[in-house]
Structure 1
Amino acid sequence: MENNRSRTGRKPNLLTNILRKFNNPRCKKDNITVFFMRKLKYFLKKAANSTYPKINGKAFNILDCTKDNLWRSLTSIYKNNDQLISEAIKTLLEPKSETKIEKTNFGSKPKSFNKNFCKSFFNKKEHRDVFRLVLDLIFSTENYDELCYSFKFRCCDSEIKKHNDECRENWSRLKTYYGYYFFDELNIALDAFEVDKINDLNQFYYGDETDVLS
């Protein structure tokens, strides 16, 4: 019988299953990928300028030890790879719609945050490491209204009921997908730590044969 899992054992259509848990038709992969890539560029520019970023529309709280440590880690990667990260900022172009791309001959250079662009960009481990720190910063809040505000879609009908554990799980699954499975689906050559991490996640989510992410 054919094995439909990848080299790291992920199941297909993970993101589709995750997004079904959210409460808005705008909750689509392309929109979310563009959102994260724009945030990545924003955070990198802030690191380059030695200024603090806003997170989910809120001013950076330097008294929040979790956020402060994450930001220090991100700026440390920038300082140790300043030329590489500076080039990354230039590379993160504002995306054009796929329709406009199809109508225009741009040659082989990707002009949007599509699969080819993301695969080329995230082939560099430093870019993946910074991206995960950006995810950690965005998802470091336990105020899920802040995430709803940033993403422009909701994890539940919170106008009727309060956020609950299901909301926490929905956001956690979205972060987990983009932190690891996203790169695996791009067929990027991950390092041993990343492969082990995905295998650990698979064991956590699927170890009892219960598809938690679906």
Structure 2
Amino acid sequence: MSMNRYLLLENIKENEKVDVFVLRNFISDKFSTPKPPKKEYLRCKIIRGHKRAMRQIIKGKTPKATLHKFSTDDFRSLDVWRCLKVVINQNPNLFMDCSNTVSGPKTDGQAKRKNSEGIEKSFNIAFCSNYFSHEEVRESYYYYIQLLFTNFDLKVLCEKFNFKCCNGDPHKINCVEKWVMLKEYLEYHMIKELDLEPFVLDLSVSGLPSYEVVNEFLNQKV
């Protein structure tokens, strides 16, 4: 997969970490003073949401109050959800095991875990490498990220992730760029930094900002 697909992140300096470069553009709601969100927080939130989506699909449920919730009238999100369902339903045993809360690090599912020996303490590199080791899991994760960004509503994204792209109102055009970079990091670089190959498809299925969204920013009075 060529990095040319990821135009906003391809020119980062060699000595600069992609995650640091991306996350410093955001302001966490978790701290009393302005700070960027932590990488561990992002991994935890995304993987927990991914696992929850697996469990919902296995149980035949549609998300109504989660990170990835969407309206049943939202046909774009429904299409991505169906793609995610196809991957999971083709490998039910793998995803049942992967989505189990006791399959997480020690910070997850402690009450149900009888033995925590050999379990990773957090959502660290070792845990994430094991979690994403199966190609099918990486494929389902790709669709999960598309689902989160399908409609690219900046206000909704801030609420989903519990961090902000700016302190101003309304948002500016560079806010769109920040969220595009975060999406690129999550779907590609977060997997690549584990020495694994990300699953990728044509951009036509990706949740990128529509012309209407970008045009709205360009026509705002500053």
Q: TM-score, normalised by structure 2?
A: 0.70
* 12-21 vs 67-76, greater mean Cα deviation: 12-21
Q: Deviations over 1:156-203 (max 9, x none)?
A: 113xx2123211111111111111111111112x27x75xx9xxxxxx
Match of 1:134 in 2: 144
Cα distance change of structure 1 residues 59 and 134 upon mapping to structure 2, 3 Å threshold: closer
Q: Deviations over 1:45-91 (max 9, x none)?
A: 11111111137668532222210110000111111001111111126
Residue from 15, 23, 26 that aligns with 1:19? 23
- Look up the SS of the partner of 1:187 in the other structure: coil
Cα pair 2:26 2:36 within 8 Å, conserved: no
Amino acid at match of 2:18: L
| CA distance, structure 1, for counterparts of residue 37 and residue 84 of structure 2 | 28
Task: Give yes or no for the alignment of 1:172 onto 2:183.
Answer: no
Q: Deviations over 1:106-164 (max 9, x none)?
A: 54332422110100111101111111111111112332111111211101113xx2123
Q: TM-score, normalised by structure 1?
A: 0.73
Cα pair 2:145 2:183 within 8 Å, conserved: yes
Correspondence list, 1:1-214, <5 A: 11=14, 12-24=16-28, 25=35, 27-54=37-64, 60-90=70-100, 92-93=103-104, 95-96=106-107, 107-158=117-168, 161-188=169-196, 190=197
Match of 1:204 in 2: none
How far residue 37 of structure 1 moved from its aligned partner, in angstroms, is 0.8
Runs of at least 5 residues in structure 1 that lack an aligned partner in the other structure: 1-7, 98-104, 198-214
Q: Which has the higher contact order (CA 8 A, sep 6+)?
A: 1
| CA distance, structure 1, for counterparts of residue 24 and residue 11 of structure 2 | 22
How many residue pairs get aligned? The number is 178
- Look up the SS of the partner of 2:61 in the other structure: coil
RMSD between aligned residues: 2.9
Q: Judging by fraction of residues, say which structure has more helix.
A: 1
Amino acid at match of 1:116: A
Runs of at least 5 residues in structure 2 that lack an aligned partner in the other structure: 1-9, 29-34, 109-114, 204-222
| CA distance, structure 1, for counterparts of residue 11 and residue 129 of structure 2 | 19
| CA distance, structure 2, for counterparts of residue 59 and residue 185 of structure 1 | 28
Cα pair 2:23 2:36 within 8 Å, conserved: no
